[in-house]
Amino acid sequence: MGNKGYFFYCLCIFTYMTTFHPVDMIEEVDVVLKRQHGRHKHGEIKLFVFGDSYVDTGNWPKSMSSSWKQPYGFTYPGYPSGRFSDGLVLTDFIEEEQVYNKEKMSSSIAIVSVAGNDYATFITNNNMEDLVNVTKSMLSQLELNLRRIHGLGVQKIGITTMEPIGCLPKLTITSSYENCSEYANSISMFHNQMLHQIIDKLNNQTSKPNFFIIDLYNAFMTSLNIQQNHPGNSNFENPLKPCCMGICGDKKKYVLCKNPEFSFFWDAIHPSQQGWFAVFSALKPSLSFLL
């Protein structure tokens, strides 16, 4: 079910940044990371992340991924680090990247982010009549995986909704990056509706809420300020257009925008560091329930 890379971190609780400051963001994040020590009132919390390129901080093999080639990592750390962005991704804003310790599973948190690659393949194959069956199949496997993670002793599990895939540059290119695809976004909404039903069922079967929705869909829409499939005023210049145009990772086949800090998307699929920061800012109030 998509890329199944996994990685482990200690969690740093964030209580910062309510405004959008492109230039100072890296320095501000670094300061917060130095001040925080991954501590919770009940002790140290471990964060497990299972997912695809939206949460990958550099675990995909160098020989197999364009994320280890320029211009990825352009903003931070200044060279390719394996992240599918110009810098930090959502996971970076939530955690402090320390060493995993197998003990105290009951105080751990897991984040699961999957399905994007599956739908990308589905749309590419243009076999739309199977949408319902494909979605049911993916979510059935996801439900099984969530039960397994919970069965290991993890008490809090956050599951991301599908982002509005109709707003990804891979699809908005057909409208010269002016409008989101209403049909493609309906696929995301269908997936998310069924996901909510599964999460409700899982929580009803446990003594307390153990499963939490991380609403990427609405966080993206808020950050992009989408109104009737068209972006309104936002902090980003032409928010549906990527900074890296062409085949990113092949230095002869891409062109970069002049100011990556004003682009929500880095390439045709992945948000930029500034994009992820905007998404994190939109998610931050709801993350308190998970953390």
CA distance 23 to 36: 22
At what angle are helices 216-224 and 273-290 packed, to 10 degrees? 140
Sign of CA dihedral 80, 85, 87, 93: negative
Burial 107-131 (b: 16+ CB within 10 A, else e): bbbbbbbbbbbbbbebbeeeeeeeb
Which of the residues are catalytic? 53, 267, 270
Is 110 within 8 Å of 48 (Cβ atoms)? Answer: yes
Q: 222: number of CA atoms within 13 Å, CB side? A: 14
C-alpha–C-alpha distance, residues 75 and 259, integer Å: 10
- What lies within 8 Å, CB to CB, of 176 at 6+ separation is none
DSSP state, residue 45? -
Residues 6+ apart with CB under 8 A from 181: 165, 166, 167, 171, 172, 174, 175, 229
Element (H, E) at 274: helix 273-290
E-strand spans in 220-285? 226-227, 230-231, 244-246, 254-256
